[in-house]
A = this chain, B = another copy of it.
Amino acid sequence: MKVLSKASVYGLRALLYIVSKKDKSEYVSIREMSEELSISFHFLTKILQSLTQRGLLESYRGPNGGIALKLPAEEIFLIDVVKILEGENFFDSCLLGLPGCGEFEPCPVHDFWKVTKAALQDEFATTSLAELGTKISENRLRLSG
């Protein structure tokens, strides 16, 4: 069961890499991240572009350029990243994918899934990059998967 796409996972790992950097005043280069995290540079670039366009990151071109968080890591939550990279309706999903829901009575797993989904959304809405960052060592981010 794949919950997040590669794009989301790569995006998250890059964000955590930025958080792990001590010097918050400097931009972190995408090239550096792609090499340290073993992620395709161009793919990562596009992922981070999406986050930049949606206001989660700030980018700067030229020598010593790169990207930086636009908010403190304490104020960026998993849900913010996921909603951008997976789509706004990521949490509107159906468990069985049977057609006609809403028009007729729900299937037996609907109530279960409604609760599970809400819990998942809440977990994502309350887990910040800062919280993730404190538990995930820099070494670990570098592993290939």
CB distance from A130 to the nearest CB of B (A): 10
A25 adjacent to chain B (CB < 8 Å) = no
Known: A1-B86, A98-B13, A119-B116. A140 touches B93 (CB 8 A): no
Stretch at the interface among A28-36, A67-75, A104-112: A104-112
Stretch at the interface among A2-10, A48-56, A57-65: A2-10
State whether A3 touches B98 (Cβ < 8 A). Answer: no
State whether A120 touches B127 (Cβ < 8 A). Answer: no
State whether A98 touches B1 (Cβ < 8 A). Answer: no
CB distance from A128 to the nearest CB of B (A): 9
Q: Which of B9, B96, B145 contacts A4 (CB 8 A)?
A: B96
Which chain A residues numbered 107 to 145 have a C-beta less than 8 Å away from chain B?
107-109, 112, 116, 119-120, 123, 127, 131-132, 135-137, 139-141, 143-145
**Chain B residues, CB < 8 A from A145:** 97, 99
State whether A116 touches B120 (Cβ < 8 A). Answer: yes
The 7 A-B residue pairs with the shortest CB-CB distance, nearest first, are A99-B143, A9-B97, A100-B140, A1-B93, A100-B143, A99-B145, A104-B140
